[in-house]
Amino acid sequence: MSNHQKFFIDGKWVAPTGDKTLDVINPATEEAFTAIALGNATDVEKAVMAARGAFDSFSRTTREERMALLQRIIECYLAREDDLVEAVSNEMGAPLAFARENQVPVGASHLKSTLEALATFEFEEVRNKGLIVREPIGVCALITPWNWPLNQICAKVAPAIATGCTMVLKPSEIAPVSGIIFAEIMEEAGVPAGVFNLVNGTGPDVGQVMAGHPEVDMVSFTGSTRAGIIVAKTAADTVKRVCQELGGKSPNIILDDADLEKAVAHGVRNCFDNSGQSCDAPTRMLVPEGKHDAALEIARVTAESLKTGDPRAEGTDLGPVVSKVQYDKIQGLIEAAIAEGATLVTGGPGLPEGLSRGYYIRPTVFGNVDNEMTIARQEVFGPVLSILPYANEEQAIAIANDTEYGLGAYVQSGSLDHARAVAKRIRAGNVSINGPTWDTAIPFGGYKQSGNGREFADWGMHDFLEIKGIRGYTA
């Protein structure tokens, strides 16, 4: 029996207290494939109090007990891989191959990285005659987005479990089915009652209630900067910790000594990965002005080689964006770029050729972009790349840092030492040099309006811990 219209509270699947439901739309077909129950303040209260009731005992579990629990969660997660792939493809439009090779495995990677970090994490340390203790912070509200649903769920749940915290998860109501399956995984793994709870719902009706609840000790939020500000303001009245991973407008500096064709082609594919729906997508490509025209041609050829279409069809590179709201926003930003004088290299407004339904965006590249243009300032969250020329390296670094965001940045160079020197000058929480593979042991988080705190492995565990100093502990 489906749990789509139930919540997981205190170790049981329970009916919601209200009767509101929401259709979950497949963005490839524009049709509903299921409906979920929408929670309210009463449902949040039940979930939070279940987490509060479980905290005392779970916070006192041993490292070994929590490691064993994480191992069982990993095993149950891997056993549900096919179900998770299907869910992610249906709810957010990810091509099946991308869901199987990226969206689902990255969740398991977080669980494994956290398990590995937990094995050697120092919860206690003697200093002088005192003992410094790192203790679980308490009940945690976890609010996750739709673009990498399992990535963000696992990046928050894993450190909460590892540190002995209890939690209430609110997945995105746009892509909730993978979150429901994850709750089934937690049940199958034997997570103690009340340690993990799930309530579906909207941001105002569930997310904000969780953020402001006096029995919630910490909020871990991933989403837009606009929503993050609301969460932080709501949480401020109870002076709880708020950790956020928000928006981005990441620069990709292609230095003069880089292999231009390789660097530009890689930058285009990286920007368009996941249909451009990544907060750290390299959406601003900076190239030497003397190589600008050549870069535009390489970008055009690369973009036009990508197949946009049915997520279930073999060979599809880009599926749709997640919703009509996102589609309309992206169309508006494409129109604004044209109106402000950017050069449309390929793509543009409207649906891709041959597609008459679904929230598909034409893979779009703009050249001659000025960093003051709307397309260079605002987060697009779609397969849209801006290419900006720079006169010299100092100007490139200045342009890269001229943004209210600071989540990701990218540097391409033929010299590793050269790339390292530039990377250190970028004001961002994550900098990638010459296209490295994704590593869930490296901290992830942002500077400026891209958020605060860090996630992944032991870095994420710190945000779920309080620090206690006990003076006179030693003789």
Assess if residue 154 is contained within a domain.
yes
State how many domains the chain has. 2
C-beta contacts of 420-427 below 8 A and 24+ residues apart: 422/253, 422/255, 422/393, 422/396, 422/397, 425/397, 425/401, 426/251, 426/253, 426/397, 426/400, 426/401, 427/401
Taking each helix axis from N to C end, the angle separating 81-92 and 177-188, rounded to the nearest 10 degrees, works out to: 160
Same-domain status, 266 and 193:
no
Assess if residue 1 is contained within a domain.
no
pLDDT at 431: 98
Same-domain status, 401 and 465:
no
Same-domain status, 231 and 279:
no
Q: Is the pLDDT of residue 327 over 90?
A: yes
- Domain extent for 214: 7-246+450-470
Q: Residue 327 maps to which CATH number?
A: 3.40.309.10
Same-domain status, 192 and 271:
no
Assess if residue 2 is contained within a domain.
no
Same-domain status, 388 and 338:
yes
Same-domain status, 223 and 310:
no
Q: How confident is the model at residue 365 (pLDDT cuts 50, 70, 90)?
A: very high
451: nearest Cα among 425, 429, 466, 432:
429
Q: Residue 220 maps to which CATH number?
A: 3.40.605.10
Assess if residue 193 is contained within a domain.
yes
Q: How confident is the model at residue 125 (pLDDT cuts 50, 70, 90)?
A: very high
Same-domain status, 454 and 409:
no
pLDDT at 475: 79
Assess if residue 356 is contained within a domain.
yes
pLDDT at 1: 56
φ, ψ at 33 (rounded to 5°): -115, -10
Assess if residue 276 is contained within a domain.
yes
| Burial status of residue 104 (CB atoms within 10 A of its CB: 0-12, 13-18, 19 or more) | buried
Average pLDDT in the 319-342 region? 98
Same-domain status, 266 and 207:
no
Same-domain status, 359 and 464:
no
Average pLDDT, the chain: 98
Q: Is the pLDDT of residue 120 over 90?
A: yes
Same-domain status, 192 and 283:
no
Same-domain status, 95 and 181:
yes
Q: Which residues are catalytic?
A: 245, 279
Same-domain status, 290 and 421:
yes
Assess if residue 444 is contained within a domain.
no
Assess if residue 445 is contained within a domain.
no
Average pLDDT in the 379-401 region? 98
> 374-396 burial string, b = 16+ CB within 10 Å, else e?
ebbebbbbbbbbbbbbbeebeeb
